[in-house]
Amino acid sequence: MIIYFCCKHKNTMWTKTAIQCFKDEAQALLDLIPLLDDNFDKAITLILNCKGKIIITGVGKSGHIGAKIAATLSSTGTPSFFVNPLDLYHGDLGVVCENDLVIAISNSGYTDELLRIVPSLLNRNIPIIGISGNPNSLLARYSAAHLDVFVKREACPLNLAPTSSTTATLAMGDAIACCLIKARGFKESDFAKFHPGGMLGKRLLTKASDIMLSNDLPIVSPDTLLREAVTIVSKGRLGICIAVENNIVAGIITDGDIRRAMENSQDSFFSLTVADIMTRSPKIVSPSVKVAEIDQILNTNKIHCVLVADDDKHLLGVVDSFSTVI
């Protein structure tokens, strides 16, 4: 109950502290914009030209952020992994091969455990992209490209715990990933290959043919009287009626279309046919369209179902909004 009370009232000390934290970290991100220079373009070019792996390293909080950046890059088409610099210094440098590239993260740019491995990397001509808050640091000096993530102060009330600085570093990693996604022409289908599990994988991999309803569809001819169509719409439980002529989709009517026809036509309603009120260009997708795309069509057009048909508009099934919830 105490937590609920604090969250609901903006005048509490805790809420004020949280708001200030959000503001400080948001400002730290905006302050990165003027720090972007030719080094950022050079870093992206180095990664794009890298024929091997991207190895990310850092100590402490920088290491945790580095692990997340590695995960993001790997999932978006740039093979990457994180290694602790102490492990590299004590034998794991063998994982770094001739065509690899290292992204080294240190807020100060002087982290001893990190700098110890720099000479070995330079001797093997391994390019280093340094990320730090100090462009005059040793890490920056020995980097082929240095990305400045300087923050004026930490969001921590004591200005000690890495807060704004880690957020800035994380955002820089996301910016790199976004650039690489564009540069590589990375698509949703590529993303799905690296995310086969969970809800995200299902939505990106599942096709219309996997979830469409194909049995007992509410099909009528365009010249069917609306009074008959009402019964078919009710029995179909989809809230629609599909007009098919010569085995080709001719149009669609919804229960909403029928209600509006009743209100507007009144006495003449019973003489109307499906063709009189049907939508002649319903939303149709192919069987191979992914659920994520179908969801976008439904939301954009504010409709609750799409028809599935082949290239010749032969009806194969229906996908409604409930079917896309997987």
Is the model's pLDDT at 189 over the cut of 50? Answer: yes
Report the candidate in 54, 84, 87, 73 with the shortest Cα–Cα distance to residue 170: 73
Here the tokens at position 244 are 């098919």
Is the model's pLDDT at 5 over the cut of 50? Answer: no
Tell me the average pLDDT across 185-199: 76
Q: Check: CB of residue 167 under 8 Å from CB of residue 140.
A: no
Residues present in the chain in total? 326
Return the half-sphere exposure (C-beta side, CA atoms, 13 A cut-off) of residue 235.
Answer: 11
Q: What is the pLDDT of residues 159-178, one digit of tens each?
A: 999 999 999 999 999 999 99
Is the model's pLDDT at 192 over the cut of 90? Answer: no
Three-class SS of 99-156: CCEEEEECCCCCCHHHHCCHHHHHHCCCCEEEEECCCCCHHHHCCCEEEECCCCCCCC
Is the model's pLDDT at 142 over the cut of 60? Answer: yes
Here the tokens at position 326 are 């997987």
- Name the superfamily (CATH) of residues 208-320: CBS-domain (3.10.580.10)
Tell me the average pLDDT across 191-197: 74
pLDDT score recorded for residue 9? 53
Here the tokens at position 235 are 């029995």
Tell me the average pLDDT across 8-17: 78
Reported pTM: 0.71
Question: Which amino acid, residue 116?
Answer: R
The CATH number assigned to the domain with range 2-186 reads 3.40.50.10490
In the structure, what pLDDT confidence band is assigned to residue 326 with cuts at 50, 70 and 90? low
Domain limits, the chain: 2-186, 208-320
